[in-house]
Amino acid sequence: MIGVFDSGFGGLVVLREFLRRLPRYDYLYLGDNARIPYGTRSDRVVMRFTQQAVDYLFRQGCRLIILACHTASAKALRALQQEYLPEHYPERRVLGVVIPTVEEALARSPQKRLGVIATEGTVASRSFEIELKKLDAGVQVFQQACPLLVPLIEAGEQDWEGTAMILRRYLAPLQEARVDTLILGCTHYSILKEQIAAIMAYEPRLICSGEVTALKLVDYLTRHPEMETRLSRGGRRRFLSTDLTPRFQQLASLFMGQPVDSEVVEL
């Protein structure tokens, strides 16, 4: 079984792409909606929350987990891979969304002028900038923290006129920098993709992690048959949340593109 973890709803966009590309596998989705947002949390807290989620998903039978949360990928993934898994789960794997997104962004950027919009925590971690410069030291990276976007989307206000005003303010520095490629560094932001494209009128390439990560997962499983053969294939999907409200059900369906039947769990 493949586990998909996010701090909230946004990871459902990633899962939706997985289901398009790899529908035969069993998936278990976990959203930590009781403790969202992660973007303003300290590294220590994000690591603790993410480790709790990983433990829970492994106990449920997941062999491979994708951290669909950019903040968790930025602040917790490396420590999980290098320190926690070798000691506690040496035969299981955790992957993230940052590196696949970075690789795709570089491949599609003609002038190597990349913009990143993300949560405060992801921007502060410099994870995108660090990974981009590992691959190409000459790339120019322009980052913009967007602390209001996740709360607005979580409140269902993505079509509110004030959201467009806030987007224009956040995107203005990136327009001035003439970025040729823009990374949407939070899974929630895909909901605003059309609005972002309309504001960035000169049409920079927009990179959304869901589609990119799905393609990279296909490649990963092809290159790692020892993992691929251990994954169950019943086409089953199960959705878990640490908090369940009518708003969750509504937004989960928006992100997933279809109704979602979720269960409440304690980590």
Whether residues 227 and 245 share a domain: the answer is yes
pLDDT of residue 157: 81
Question: What value does the mean pLDDT take over residues 233-260?
Answer: 83
Q: What percent of the chain has pLDDT over 70?
A: 99
Find, among 231, 215, 222, the residue nearest to 93 by Cα: 231
Higher pLDDT residue, 197 or 9?
197
CA–CA separation, 120 and 179 (whole Å): 20
Q: Are residues 21 and 109 in the same domain?
A: no
The model's confidence at residue 245, banded by pLDDT at 50, 70 and 90, is confident
Estimate the crossing angle of helix 127-135 against helix 98-108, to 10 degrees: 50
pLDDT for position 241: 92
Q: How many CB atoms lie within 10 A of CB 76?
A: 26
pLDDT band at 261 (very low <50, low <70, confident <90, very high): confident
CATH code, 144: 3.40.50.1860
Q: How far apart are CA 207 and CA 59, in angstroms?
A: 33
Residues 197-207 as b/e (b if ≥16 CB within 10 A, e otherwise) read eebbeeebbbb
Question: What integer pLDDT is reported at residue 28 of this predicted model?
Answer: 97
Residues 104 and 139 in one domain: yes
Domain count, the chain: 2
- Answer yes or no: do 158 and 257 share one domain: no
Scanning the structure block, which residue is given the tokens 């005003």?
165
Which residue is listed with tokens 């921007």? 123
**In terms of pTM, does the model score above 0.75?**
yes
At 225 the pLDDT is 95
pLDDT of residue 57: 98
Strands (E), 112-191: 113-118, 140-145, 181-184
> Which range among 10-19, 79-88, 202-211 has the greatest average pLDDT?
79-88
> Which residues are designated catalytic?
69, 186
> How confident is the model over 115-127, as a mean pLDDT?
89
Which token pair is 257?
Answer: 């593109």
Are residues 58 and 105 part of one domain? Answer: no
C-alpha to C-alpha distance for 242 and 92, rounded to whole angstroms = 23
Please identify, among 208, 230, 248, the residue that sits at the C-terminal boundary of a domain.
208
154 and 227 share one domain: no
**Residue-wise pLDDT tens digits, 19-71:** 999 999 999 999 998 898 887 788 899 999 999 999 999 999 999 999 999 88
User: What is the torsion angle, in degrees rounded to the nearest 10, for the CA atoms of residue 197, residue 203, residue 208 and residue 212?
Assistant: 150
Domain closes at, from 160, 177, 208: 208
pLDDT at 229 over 90: yes
Q: Which residues contact 134 (CB under 8 A, 6 or more apart)?
A: none
Q: Are residues 251 and 166 in the same domain?
A: no
Tell me the three state secondary structure of residue 5.
strand
Q: How large is the average pLDDT for residues 66-93?
A: 93
| Strands, sheet with 181-184, edge to edge from the N-terminal-most edge strand | 140-145, 113-118, 181-184, 205-208
134 plus 224 within the same structural domain? no
Looking at the structure, tell me whether residues 120 and 146 fall in a common domain.
Answer: yes
Same domain for 154 and 231, yes or no, is: no
Average pLDDT of the residues of the chain: 91
Give the range of the structural domain holding residue 44, as residue numbers without chain letter. Answer: 2-96+211-264
Q: From 208, 223, 243, give the residue that closes a domain.
A: 208
